[in-house]
A and B are shown apart, each in its own frame.
Chain A
Amino acid sequence: MIPESVSLGELERDALTEIVNIGVSRAASSLRKMIGDHVTLSVPSIDVVSQRRAARLISEREVTELVAVRQGFSGPFSGRALLIFPETNSLELVRAVTGGELSAAEVLEIEHEALAETGNVILNSCLATMANMLKRSLSMTIPEVLRGSGATLFEIDDDMPADGLVLFLYIDFAVRKRDIRGYIAMIMDLPSLETLKSLLDEFIERVVNDDA
């Protein structure tokens, strides 16, 4: 059962999808600039689920180990954003962002930090665009690179029960020419969700009244 105060109305859900879409498109355009190839995106999926279910949503679809760049955000709403892809894609992504100028040994050497920086650029452009649209500011942590299964990546906070509800957003992205694919995922906790709901209402009002 989802408490009434955090369930999103139809218009709120539309508004959130729209904002996420714009944020992710901006992120995709950053990735495109970094690797020089077209990036395709799916329509965002938005669900209120338990932490445990969020972890399963990704791991059910991926049998291999995953690599993720995770960045926390806090402000009027807070949570974590992740750039996730199968571990087998990791070096290909590093080769793509370094422009194919490095030797195999150099690619390995720079892998960790190139992933962190790529995640930083992509997640920041997505989150910052969303913050601007909602007219609020968010602070972002330094990105960290994680490896493991879906369960490790969505590691449950100590202060939060695993069956606690979160807003889970994810989008598939793919770079067809390079055989790179992955997800951009965002998890927001419940108190944040209530704030987000009121920010969405403000956003809807601005759009509807067209006071821009």
Chain B
Amino acid sequence: MPINVLIVDDSKLARIVAGKALARLQPSWTKAEAGSAAEAMELFGRLHFDLALIDFNMTEKDGLQLAAEFRALRPEMPIAIITANIQDEIIARAREIGATFVAKPVTADGIEGFLSGAALRLRTSRT
């Protein structure tokens, strides 16, 4: 079964950019996109995802809150928080909920560490 990735960002442009980096590094993985935390939750309840890339700065519910909810449902799932808001406090909060911090704009180089780490963890948990 291919690895399925959930990309959550209220910006379509940002989803395109993240999707491109993902396709370059892991061409066989599949993805679904959500434009808000609510849409992400809805998809999450319906489909199976192996990992999630979540934007921090979103209206209504921010990415850290959403990540914490995902974390409660799926303690082992690799989650990356993606944001240009590189403040120490945001990085610390991401770390607290066990999410990886990835700086925006997302580049293949910037996200490679998270994806290969996640691939490794998923392989180990599946065998």
Residues of A within 8 A of B (CB): 26, 30, 33-34, 97-98, 110, 113-114, 116-118, 120-122, 124-125, 127-129, 131-132, 137-138, 140, 142
Count of chain B residues with a beta carbon within 8 Å of a chain A beta carbon: 21
Q: State in angstroms the CA–CA spacing of A131 and B100 once bound together.
A: 21
Q: Is B14 an interface residue (CB 8 A)?
A: yes
Are the CB atoms of B105 and A138 closer together than 8 Å?
Answer: no
Are the CB atoms of A131 and B87 closer together than 8 Å?
Answer: yes
Q: Which 3 A/B pairs are nearest by Cβ-Cβ distance?
A: A124-B84, A117-B11, A137-B89
Contact with A33, one of B13, B59, B83, B107 (Cβ below 8 angstroms): B107
CB < 8 Å A-B pair total: 63
Q: Is B88 an interface residue (CB 8 A)?
A: yes
Are the CB atoms of B57 and A140 closer together than 8 Å?
Answer: yes
Contact with B85, one of A113, A114, A128 (Cβ below 8 angstroms): A128
Q: Mark B1-31, 1 if CB is under 8 A from A, else 0.
A: 0000000000111101100000000000000
Determine the chain B residues whose CB is within 8 A of the CB of A118 once the complex forms. 13
Are the CB atoms of B13 and A138 closer together than 8 Å?
Answer: no
Determine the chain A residues whose CB is within 8 A of the CB of B71 once the complex forms. none
**A116 to nearest B CB, angstroms?**
7
Are the CB atoms of B105 and A33 closer together than 8 Å?
Answer: yes
Are the CB atoms of B85 and A124 closer together than 8 Å?
Answer: yes
**B47 to nearest A CB, angstroms?**
25
**A33 to nearest B CB, angstroms?**
5
Show 13 A/B contacts (Cβ-Cβ < 8 Å), sorted by A: A26-B86, A34-B105, A98-B16, A113-B11, A116-B11, A117-B11, A117-B14, A120-B84, A124-B84, A129-B86, A132-B88, A137-B89, A138-B87
Determine the chain A residues whose CB is within 8 A of the CB of B16 once the complex forms. 98
Determine the chain B residues whose CB is within 8 A of the CB of A131 once the complex forms. 87
Q: State in angstroms the CA–CA spacing of A121 and B104 once bound together.
A: 6
**A21 to nearest B CB, angstroms?**
17
Are the CB atoms of B105 and A121 closer together than 8 Å?
Answer: yes
Are the CB atoms of B84 and A125 closer together than 8 Å?
Answer: yes
Q: Do A128 and B87 contact each other (CB < 8 Å), given the known contacts A110-B13, A113-B13?
A: yes
Q: Do A120 and B11 contact each other (CB < 8 Å), given the known contacts A132-B86, A132-B87, A140-B85?
A: yes
Contact with B87, one of A98, A117, A137 (Cβ below 8 angstroms): A137
Closest residue on chain B to residue A123 by CB atoms: B84
Q: State in angstroms the CA–CA spacing of A120 and B83 once bound together.
A: 9
Q: State in angstroms the CA–CA spacing of A116 and B58 once bound together.
A: 12
Closest residue on chain A to residue B106 by CB atoms: A33
Determine the chain B residues whose CB is within 8 A of the CB of A26 once the complex forms. 86
Q: State in angstroms the CA–CA spacing of A18 and B107 once bound together.
A: 27
**A198 to nearest B CB, angstroms?**
19
Closest residue on chain B to residue A141 by CB atoms: B57
Closest residue on chain A to residue B83 by CB atoms: A124
Known: A122-B84, A140-B85. 13 other contacts (CB 8 A): A30-B84, A33-B105, A97-B13, A113-B12, A120-B11, A121-B105, A124-B104, A125-B104, A128-B85, A129-B86, A131-B87, A138-B87, A142-B57
Closest residue on chain A to residue B86 by CB atoms: A128
Interface centre among B16, B58, B84, B107 (most CB of A within 10 A): B84
